[in-house]
Amino acid sequence: MEERRRAKRMPVIISLEISNLYKQNNVQVSNLNEPIEVTDISKAGLGFVTKSILPLEFYFNANINLGNEDTLHCVIQIIRTQPGENGETIYGCQFIGMADILSYIFEEYDSRISEK
């Protein structure tokens, strides 16, 4: 995958489940309930793998907790994809409309994982 990262990616172990995908023109894919494994995260977005085939340019809601008391309630847009291993697909996503003030959550997380 071509390097397009705008911010430092940090390894993370988070499991999410996508139940609904939507587009701005009210197109929606419902009842997916597909597990995904988040592989890395940054201030700008996240990467994940799944066995599901998900459409590009669709959005989903997520609640992300990086091991502290703060939970990010965010909208994520799928922006790129590539084939992975073992029948999985690798996805690149960006956070939509996240306030810059929330970047401290990622800075604290980076500090914690750097100390290990």
Q: What are the structural domains of the chain?
A: 10-115 (2.40.10.220)
Neighbours of 108 (CB within 10 A): 14
Query: pLDDT at position 5, please?
Result: 58
Q: Please report, in tens digits, the pLDDT of each residue of the chain (116 residues total).
A: 455 656 777 777 776 777 788 887 777 777 677 778 899 998 889 999 998 888 999 998 888 887 777 678 889 999 999 999 999 999 999 999 887 777 778 788 888 888 76
Q: At CA 20, angle to CA 15 and CA 24, rounded to 5? A: 120
31-55 core/surface letters (b: 16 or more CB in 10 A; e: else): ebeeebebbbbbbbbbbbbbeeebe
SS3 category, 64: strand
SS3 category, 91: strand
